[in-house]
Chains A and B, each alone.
Chain A
Amino acid sequence: MSYTPFWNPLPVWQYWYLLLIPLSLGISIVYKSVKCHSMKSVPREAAVIFMTILIGMVLAAAALMGITRLLEQR
């Protein structure tokens, strides 16, 4: 079945979690655009918060995976 934009969902069943990366980037840009006093500081501030979100999500995923494995072994 061919992909028709807006009609069919994007065929990314195996890689859906990668779609959280652009979402985090968008959140970072808008949040810092609203928050920062000057727009000149937005790119740097947005990059910092973007990396913070990504690292936080990776750490949370790792911690949850560790807890799940631990409970499986019991």
Chain B
Amino acid sequence: MPPAPLVALVAWLIPGAGYLLIGQRARGLTVGITIFLLFISGLLIGGIRVIDCPWIESPAQTAERLRREENGKFHLNPVQALLQKPWFIGQALAGPVAFITNKIGVSWERPAPAGTIPPEDSSTDSPPQGAPFSHSRVYEIGTLYTAVAGMLNLLAIIDSAYRASNHGHR
């Protein structure tokens, strides 16, 4: 039986994989697929920007933060920044996929549809903003789906690590 910390790490990296590592294939696949579907459903419902990591910013967000900090306002250390976006704590428990998704979201630029003329005021020096944020209920539900997926993965991480230290039993 692999050591419990290794099982916990693998379970965080890939939801459900902790169970696979200790030989519980059906449990691992059920948990992993369900958590994955919840996470993807959250992104489909609220858009990719429901994952909002406080430390990964689009160029526009960085410029805005630097402008505020130059004015001497709202300087936050990393912990304060995280507490401003507490849902990300839950989302991050779903694994590295949360960070990768956020990175894609902040760097995703959709070109204007073919045949359309960009607006006059779209100056070239405005930094890219990434994918747009959604609002209202769909944003909340999308955030809820992804955070619940992460918190369910925390259950699976703890359970699979405990089972690893207890010869596969609870």
Residues of A whose CB lies within 8 Å of any CB of B are 4-10, 12-13, 16, 19-20, 22-23, 26-27, 29-31, 33-34, 37, 39, 42
A4-B110, A23-B144, A23-B148 given; A13·B48 CB < 8 A: no
Instruction: Find chain B residues with CB under 8 A from A27 CB.
Output: 148, 152
A7-B48, A16-B141, A34-B156 given; A42·B131 CB < 8 A: no
Q: Among A5, A13, A30, point to the contact of B31 (Cβ < 8 A).
A: A30
Instruction: Find chain A residues with CB under 8 A from B43 CB.
Output: 6
Q: What is the count of residue pairs linking A and B with beta-carbon distances less than 8 angstroms?
A: 79
A16-B137, A26-B148 given; A33·B31 CB < 8 A: yes
A13 touches B131 (CB 8 A): no
CA gap between A8 and B47 in the complex, in Å: 5
Q: Mark B124-151, 1 if CB is under 8 A from A, else 0.
A: 0000000110111111011011001100
Residues of B whose CB lies within 8 Å of any CB of A are 26-27, 30-31, 34-35, 37-38, 41, 43-48, 108, 110, 131-132, 134-139, 141-142, 144-145, 148-149, 152, 155-156, 159, 170
A23-B145, A34-B156, A39-B27 given; A7·B138 CB < 8 A: no
Q: Among B37, B138, B148, point to the contact of A12 (Cβ < 8 A).
A: B138
Q: Among B38, B47, B152, point to the contact of A31 (Cβ < 8 A).
A: B152
B34 touches A12 (CB 8 A): no
